[in-house]
A and B are shown apart, each in its own frame.
Chain A
């Protein structure tokens, strides 16, 4: 098990008290490295929006014209 997988496993155990239940869990936990890379690639591409209802307002703003 690599350092990243060990770190994920210990984080989940410490914060949630949950152990990896099976081999697929270990394999899929390792794939979080790809998630981090995907987030890294998005940095600087979109502004943070601090209006909490922004998704609902976006649904209204972009809805099918009557």
Chain B
């Protein structure tokens, strides 16, 4: 039976604003699922219910006095625990920051508040946003609400799991190599990585300055559109944020895909892909073709350069951020975190500069060839059926576990070096009952177009409405 926690973000916001329901009722519906299911999934690591109730009552009082706080009026949220809120806990998923209370508030949190939303807690995540699986040594691994021994995807593990388990209408994630799209795919929800520079990173824990992105994980593409409209745009506190105008992203979602050119990479993104994943992608393509899209299959250029340069940039930028702790307290990290960071200290500066300096030319050459043939690219978000937490546990697994671990993000990483926007939408289930995600990528600042494609797909399918069995039982 559907309840208030099953509403989409937009339904929830609009019902509060119209007086049809209250923010406090939404909050309590989310908490009912949280109390019932969090012990099994471990998606939320701290809560501030008292403060949340004060904010929910304020939102409800605003409705009574005919004020509209904004397009997210009265919507309770929780985010990956790396978005700073002055004076509130922000653990970054690590023992090294278990008591960290920043003095500043992230611009994106400020913008969500200005739009009427409020937060009620912090979500589990990979330590310092550094794994694609959801393992966490300090706060415990995050478990997939569809099948708990399986990974949630990472690093925004709690973001994906909490939205799937109906604790939350939307959660911010961060994406440096796929960390929004992977948990969206693994947990059966929708996750948008915007164009590099589209959203401010001020007050957000850094991992790799060149590749970090802020974006939403939500139930639907339309929910992501509403959030992106609220959070995108230049921020004087983040000089790297783009001055590109921010449209109303919901206005793109008219469902009309007539003449849309979809490119499907003929090789690379499907190497080693599992049959159920390929079948789900092909079925999704038929849905899009049914809406008037045309599919072309071709090889993508420069993939070796993108992989080599992208890997160097991520590793070289993460290493110095953690050097002090890697000297003083390396055992505070999970072995897979410190182990993956360690080689970053041996990368020559000249390699790093070469990788950065070629990013522009690589993007220009890639775009010139690819976007002459296609308007968007479509791939599986994760090319294999989901692995279990045990199969990808580098800390306890045998040598070679790294290969399965790294394969999780093989299809998402290229778009971080290229800086392109990409969204993951649910498109099926694997034989283990775990969700499969479809990745749709576009040109720089082409979020409107990929949201339009994702929205059209969700108009004709109902994968995004599916609810994990443990949540159905809880309800």
Contacts and interface: CB of A to CB of B under 8 A. Distances in A.
B70 interface: no
A32 B346 contact: yes
Contact of A27 (B242, B354, B363, B399): B399
Given A18-B330, A27-B402, A29-B342, A45 B364 contact: no
Interface in A21-66: 21-25, 27-29, 31-32, 35, 38-39, 41-42, 45-51, 54-64
A21 to B, nearest CB: 4
Nearest to B417: A55
Contacts, number: 145
Interface in B336-375: 336, 338-340, 342-343, 345-347, 351, 354, 356-365, 367-368, 371
A64 B449 contact: yes
B444 A18 contact: no
A18 to B, nearest CB: 5
A59 B343 contact: no
A31 to B, nearest CB: 7
A48 B339 CA distance: 32
B363 to A, nearest CB: 4
Contact of B444 (A21, A41, A64): A64
A47 to B, nearest CB: 7
B195 A59 contact: yes
Contact of A12 (B197, B345, B444): B345
Contacts of A31: 343
Interface stretch (B140-148, B224-232, B303-311, B379-387): B303-311
B233 interface: no
Interface in B388-402: 394-395, 399, 402
B363 A55 contact: yes
Q: How extensive is the interface on chain A, given as a class?
A: 35 or more
B139 interface: no
Given A12-B342, A59-B419, A42 B308 contact: yes
B443 interface: yes
B196 interface: yes
B244, B308, B323, B446: residue with the most chain A Cβ atoms closer than 10 Å:
B308
A49 B360 contact: yes
A48 B347 CA distance: 19
Given A24-B335, A62-B444, A35 B312 contact: yes
Contact of A58 (B330, B364, B394): B364
B351 A39 contact: yes
B363 A62 contact: yes
Interface residues of B, number: 55
Given A21-B326, A22-B339, A63-B443, A8 B346 contact: yes
B305 A24 contact: no
A12 to B, nearest CB: 4
A24 B394 contact: yes
Contacts of A35: 308, 311-312, 347, 351
A46 B327 contact: no
Contact of A21 (B307, B339, B362, B449): B339
Nearest to A7: B346
A21 B333 contact: yes
Given A11-B346, A42-B304, A58 B339 contact: no
Contacts of B444: 59-60, 62-64
Contacts of B333: 21
Given A46-B361, A62-B363, A38 B330 contact: no
A49 B361 contact: yes
A12, A20, A27, A58: residue with the most chain B Cβ atoms closer than 10 Å:
A58
B448 interface: yes
B357 A48 contact: yes
B360 A24 contact: no
Contacts of A24: 335-336, 339-340, 394-395, 402
Given A8-B346, A32-B346, A64-B445, A54 B339 contact: no
- Nearest first, the 8 closest Cβ-Cβ pairs linking A and B are A24-B339, A54-B360, A64-B446, A62-B367, A25-B342, A21-B330, A38-B308, A58-B360
Given A11-B346, A28-B343, A58-B364, 12 more contacts: A8-B343, A24-B339, A24-B395, A25-B335, A25-B343, A35-B351, A39-B308, A54-B359, A55-B359, A59-B444, A63-B444, A64-B445
Interface of B: 195-197, 210, 242, 244, 304-305, 307-308, 311-312, 323, 326-327, 330-331, 333, 335-336, 338-340, 342-343, 345-347, 351, 354, 356-365, 367-368, 371, 394-395, 399, 402, 419, 442-446, 448-449
